[in-house]
Amino acid sequence: MLSVTVDQLDPTPIYEQLAGIIREKIKAGDLAERQLVPSESSLQQKHGIARGSVRRAMELLREEGWVVTIQGRGTFVAPRENWPGKP
Amino acid sequence: MLSVTVDQLDPTPIYEQLAGIIREKIKAGDLAERQLVPSESSLQQKHGIARGSVRRAMELLREEGWVVTIQGRGTFVAPRENWPGKP
DNA sequence: GAGAATTTGTACGTATGTATG
DNA sequence: ACATACATACGTACAAATTCT
């Protein structure tokens, strides 16, 4: 089963959990290419975590090439050729 | 004495200080029912604080029922029956 | 009605302080 | 000492709604 929210009791860092959740949504096509990813504040509220943790998760996904962030607009699913494991 | 501006050295959060100042103005009748509250940018300049702090103060006052905000128009003092402690 | 200006709404970027394990 | 997490507060940019010229 795919987790839909973070688990505060899980020793895995919150931001890694959240990154994992969003990464899986992208892989599954639930979040499509170039689609707007939910905002930091909405993710913050939905999961009951701090914005800094959301930002760390997004930072991870950016580094991995899953998403692209544009100031003042939002975070978007990156074009498929930027995704990892796509040689 | 009633403070007229926020105090950066006061450990009370800036947005709480500003909310308190405006709340007292409403209670004192300095800002009357349905009157337009100064805009976010003017409050920002007057107190030398960030707009985000002004918005948080307004959010507090909205939640308490002191003011009503309309996009594109401004923030107004709420009708008296919305004020707290008016059963 | 068109266009500029004003005002609030949303979103990201960054820094600092505090608390906890 | 260090990593994690939350709170506050600064800044920037752009969107949306309204008002004014």
A41 touches strand C (CB under 7 A): yes
pLDDT tier for residue A7 given thresholds of 50, 70 and 90? confident
A11 touches strand C (CB under 7 A): no
pLDDT tier for residue B68 given thresholds of 50, 70 and 90? very high
> Is the model more confident about A13 or about B37?
B37
The pLDDT of residue A26 is above 90:
yes
Q: What is the percentage of chain A residues whose pLDDT exceeds 70?
A: 95
What is the average per-residue pLDDT within A19-47?
90
The region, left, alpha or beta by phi > 0 then psi within -120 to 50, assigned to residue A69 is beta
The pLDDT of residue B8 is above 90:
no
d(CA A1, C1' D18) / Å: 48
d(CA A67, C1' D17) / Å: 31
d(CA A85, C1' C7) / Å: 47
Q: How far apart are CA A18 and CA A61, in angstroms?
A: 10
Q: Which pLDDT score, from 0 to 100, does residue A86 have?
A: 61
Nearest alpha carbon to residue A58 among A74, A73, A45, A81: A74
Q: How far apart are CA A57 and CA A17, in angstroms?
A: 8
The pLDDT of residue B60 is above 70:
yes
B52 touches strand D (CB under 7 A): yes
What is the average per-residue pLDDT within B33-53?
97
Report the mean per-residue pLDDT for chain A.
87
Per-residue pLDDT tens digits for A49-74 = 888 889 989 988 998 899 998 887 88
A46 touches strand C (CB under 7 A): no
Torsion of CA A73, A74, A79, A80, to 10 degrees: -170
d(CA B41, C1' C7) / Å: 9
Asked if A79 and A85 count as a contact pair (C-beta separation under 8 A), the reply is no
d(CA A41, C1' C6) / Å: 26
Q: pTM above 0.75?
A: yes
